[in-house]
Structure 1
Amino acid sequence: MKTQVIALGATLLLAAPFATPALADPTGFISIGAGPAGTEIDTGSDTFNLDGYALEALLSGSIMLTPVLGIQGDVQFTSRTLDDSGDDITTNSFDGALHGFYREADKFLVGGFVQIGRDDLSYNSASEGTIDRAYVGGEAQVYFDNLTLYGQAGMQQFDLSSNSPTSIGLNGWFANAEVRYFLTPNLRIEARAGFNTLDFEILSATFDTVTIGAGVEYKLESLPISLFAKYDYSTTSAEALMSDDATVGNHRFLVGARFALGEDSLLDRDRSGASLRPVQGGNGFLETFSGF
């Protein structure tokens, strides 16, 4: 039932921008990327490294309901598979987000969003549990010629379910920041950082996750196609969960392509199109150890 609810919610979130009476035609893009990924587990007394690969697909659509009011919907799928001495540890994640915003072109954007997601965890293709995620928060962008500043913040809730009839809830908050710089209208570089925390009340533990990332995107002339490369790294610490200081670090490097709809340039997307992002969820400890 949970899977059906999340799938239905994601479908409705994506359909919203395209099913609402609007001032202009919708804009958006489809993005597909793949590349190497890895995890480093440091228990305080030992260190383990796991290597693998990651995939990401994102469909985003935006539409203006009035000259200044708009909505955006996102559906995202990510997958990561790690090799554990010949055994596969896989996390498949599905997310749907809906943003509502007020935007004055070339000045600023302010808005809010809701997002739901699920992580399906498996070991050698055998299910080991799920993590249901929910986010609610606010976001803003400020535009300075060829520079964009972007921030998100809000509350998050995780529901961890293993192969047992009970589930465990975790609550916390998150904050993300991003800087985008346009060398030309069709060449963008970006840097981002974030922090989120989750309280695990049953074990009196707190998970703190720090994320950093960078990327570049170039749109081909006269074609609705852009190429991108990006790197993301996160480290999660588990305070009071283990006697020694323990951390889990995750990294991935993706290259791929985006196929645009109704966008003249990358700068055009940033100032008048689908420029908002779904929250990049996840927790290194929960994804690595849940069900194992």
Structure 2
Amino acid sequence: MRNQLFATAAVAAFFALTGAAAQAQTVGSVGAGYSRAEVDTGLGDGDLDVFSADGSVAFDAGSLRGAVDGSVANFDGDGGDATNWSVTGHLNTGFNGGLAGGFVGVTTNDEVTVWGVGGEAQFNVAPQTTLYGQIGYGQSDDLADADLWAGRAELRYFISDNFKVQGSAGYTNIDTNFGDLDTWNIGADAEYQFASTPWSVTAGYEHGEIDDANLESDTFKVGVRYSFGGTLRDRDQAGASLGSVNNLFGGALGQSVIAAFGQ
């Protein structure tokens, strides 16, 4: 019940912030997607169908820039289903060709809550290429009093202002009462926005492993997205594509594990 109340409050806060930000000049997007996760536990295989919705918005915050993103994802597998909620807030400052700042966020379901905080930065390494990096610390009493230390990087290349491809890689060390776990993930994504419209289509793939638990997954993703405030490149430069807490701590595999505890 506590986590359900928190999830409701977090989502209400997300929409309140985005509604307030909409009164100023903003850049962002909302989207919906479907993922198919194939999970190998070492003792057998399992599949998860994941239906999700998410949104992000970047806005002026005085002399700084703010951003907030939120998501909800329902994981449906053989063992039942669970819904993960996530909200992340960002505050940063811009410099020539990039930005740097910090974030705080949470991922939660009926049984598990994971808090996260950290720093992030992005820089235009070439006229059409952005390098983004994120490091953070997370904590969850519900996962055997786990401390999580994580890092993630994304390299985004814009074939045009409305056609983006990117590669990503992440690593998380999970220190629990029962020992340490190391998890990593790599992925590739693409997004294409149709000419003279705010609508785009997305597709992606991610592979993740938890070495010490003999657990790995392959996740295939497709989706649609509505952008406001400019092109995909504008969204990137405004800081409306920064990484969320649920992506940082284990990516798609990490969210699947949290959902499994929520079942």
TM-score for the superposition, normalised by structure 1: 0.80
The residue aligned with 1:178 is: 154
Q: 2:215 maps to which residue?
A: 248
What are the equivalent positions in structure 2 for 1:74-93 lying under 5 Å apart? 74-83=69-78, 88-93=79-84
Given that residues 250 and 284 in structure 1 are in contact (C-alpha distance below 8 angstroms), is that contact kept between their aligned partners in structure 2?
no
* Equivalent-residue separation in structure 2 for 1:180 and 1:291 (angstroms): 33
Number of aligned positions between the proteins: 256
Q: Say whether the 8 Å CA contact 2:27–2:57 is kept in structure 1.
A: yes
Q: Is this contact kept in 2: 1:14–1:97, CA < 8 A?
A: no
Aligned partner (choices 107, 114, 119) of residue 109 of structure 2: 119
Aligned counterpart for 2:52 among listed residues 34, 56, 60: 56
Return 5+ residue gaps in structure 2 as ranges.
none
Q: State the AA in 2 paired with 1:160.
A: D
- Residue of structure 2 in register with 1:158 after alignment: 140
Equivalence map 1:132-281=2 (5 Å): 132-143=113-124, 144-160=126-142, 168-201=144-177, 203=178, 205-238=179-212, 246-263=213-230, 265-279=231-245, 280=247, 281=249
Following superposition, the deviation at residue 64 of structure 1 comes to 1.5
Q: What is the Cα deviation at residue 16 of structure 1?
A: 2.8
CA offsets per residue over residues 221-246 of structure 1, 9 Å max, x none? 000111110112211133xxxxxxx4
Corresponding residue number in structure 2 for 1:28 = 28
Cross-structure match for 1:102: 93
Q: Partner letter of residue 162 of structure 2? A: N
SS across alignment from 2:6: helix
Q: Deviations over 1:77-115 (max 9, x none)?
A: 1222223xxxx43332100110001123x6011010000
- 2:10 aligned residue: 9
Matched letter for residue 139 of structure 2? Q
Structure 1 counterpart of 2:66 = 71
Q: CA RMSD in A?
A: 2.4
SS at match of 1:160: coil
Look at both structures and tell me which one has the larger radius of gyration over its CA atoms. 1
Question: Would you tell me which structure has more helix in proportion to its own residues?
Answer: 2
| Aligned 8 A contact 2:82 2:260 in 1 | no
Q: Can you give the 5+ residue segments of structure 1 that lack an aligned partner in the other structure? A: 121-129, 162-167, 239-245
State the Cα deviation string for residues 57-94 of structure 1 (Å, max 9, x = none): 1111110134x6210111111222223xxxx4333210
State the shift of 1:21 in Å. Answer: 9.9
Question: AA paired with 1:256?
Answer: G
Structure 1 window deviating more from structure 2 (281-290 vs 251-260): it is 281-290
CA contact (8 A) 2:116 2:137 kept: yes
Structure 2: how far apart are the matches of 1:109 and 1:254? 28
1:276-291 pair list within 5 angstroms:
276-279=242-245, 280=247, 281=249, 283=254, 286-287=257-258, 290=261
Percent sequence identity over aligned pairs? 28
Q: What TM-score do you get using the length of structure 2 for normalisation?
A: 0.88
Deviation, 1:37, is 1.6
Work out the CA distance in 2 between the residues paired with 1:153 and 1:273.
16
For residues 72 and 8 of structure 2, what CA distance do their matches in structure 1 show? 12
Cα distance change, pair 224–195 in 1 and its aligned pair in 2 (3 A): same
